[in-house]
Structure formats: C-alpha cells, structure tokens
Amino acid sequence: MIEIIPNQFDFGSLQSRTYTRRVIIHHSASPDVSASVIHDWHRRKDWSGIGYHAVIRADGAVEAGRPLDAVGAHAGSAANRDSIGICLTGNFMMQPPSRSQMDSLPRLLDYLEDRYGTRLEVLRHKDVATTDCPGIHFPWPESSWLPVDSEVNAGLPETVPITWKDSLVSEARACQLITDNHHPDDPAPKWFVLAVGLNIMKGMGKIDAK
C-alpha cells in the first residue's frame, strides 16, 4: 500500500471526471518542489489549482494534488478528460528521475489500478502533445521500469480482448455511420447524434443524400 500525503489546498471550480482510461506522466522541469509550490504556480496562471493529481518527490514521497476524480489540467483538454496526471519533480531533460521516484511510480500505478478497477494505459505527456515532457532522461518504454508482475500495460495490446464497445465503433465506421475512429466512451454532442441519425435516414433513402 502506498501512502499518499494529503493536502489542504484551496481549489477554484473543478469538474469531475467521469471516465478514466490512462495515466499521463510529467516532470516538473524544475528542482525538487512540493505539490504546494506547484499548486501556487498553477494558481498564478489562473488555473483552479495544481493541475496534476499526484506529485512524486525526489525522495519518493507521493503528495496528493488535485482530487483524483477531478478533471486535471496537465495534458490538453482532450486528454485531461480521461486521464490522471502524475508529475515527478525534477528536470529530466538534464538528469533521470531518482531511484526512489521510479520505485514509487509503479506502486502508485498499482494503487490507481485497484482504485479504478482496471488497468490504466501509461503514457508520457509527449505521447499526447507536442512537448519534451517528461524529458529525454525519463526511462522509456515503461517496460524498462514496470515490475514484471505489475498488471499495468502487461502484454498490451495483444492480450487485451476487443471489447464489445470497440466492435460497435468499428462496425459503425465500416458502414459509414461515423467517419473518425471515435473512442467508444467519448461523449456525443447533439450535432454528432443528429449527423448519425441523418446518415441512417440517407442510408434508408428517406431523405436525399447530399
């Protein structure tokens, strides 16, 4: 069991995250600083408070950031909606993370896996945005530091069965109900529902295809 040191930070308005499928890793690009210092940095940018959900200090201590189930502010609006942001303090453009940090990270991932009841995909910030974060010295691929007995990313993608939701998406794409490769749990705005409905009606010849 990993200890997550709680905080008493004041946050502005937070949205709750309804869906969690991945963890995105960051470095602070700074010296070793507390979650409280990062909270102040982000408040000064007029954010609701620290954008990461957890901070792993150089000594391996894990400090809580934004509440785990709140939408974070760390990887862009699309990725923030379905991910947890973990920040390891330090500048990994200059040097690698500490051994203690890399011991705590997989333990934190195990904790999150238990909490969300599913394996969460592990990505670096640079995998979802144009950035160097978490730096060239952050060890990657994750198989180089995830213990072999850890479930996280184990054997992905071959052993992960295609879920019925994924099959629905591919089927809908194949018959051109949708055009992009949507994530099955993406929310659907009204225009999207209407577009799908109109596509069906065109397909049935009820209205003229334009």
Residues forming the site for Zn ion (CB under 5 A): 26, 125, 133
Q: Which is nearer to Zn ion, 60 or 85 (CB)?
A: 85
Q: Which is nearer to Zn ion, 129 or 198 (CB)?
A: 129
Nearest to 97 by CA among 112, 108, 113: 108
| Beta carbon of residue 74, minimum distance to Zn ion (angstroms, whole number) | 6
Q: How far apart are CA 101 and CA 162, in angstroms?
A: 34
Q: Which is nearer to Zn ion, 133 or 146 (CB)?
A: 133
| Beta carbon of residue 125, minimum distance to Zn ion (angstroms, whole number) | 3
Question: Dihedral of the CA atoms 37, 41, 46, 47 (nearest 10)?
Answer: -70
Cα-Cα end-to-end distance for the chain: 59
| Beta carbon of residue 67, minimum distance to Zn ion (angstroms, whole number) | 19
Nearest to 50 by CA among 38, 32, 67, 63: 38
Q: Which is nearer to Zn ion, 26 or 81 (CB)?
A: 26
| Beta carbon of residue 27, minimum distance to Zn ion (angstroms, whole number) | 7
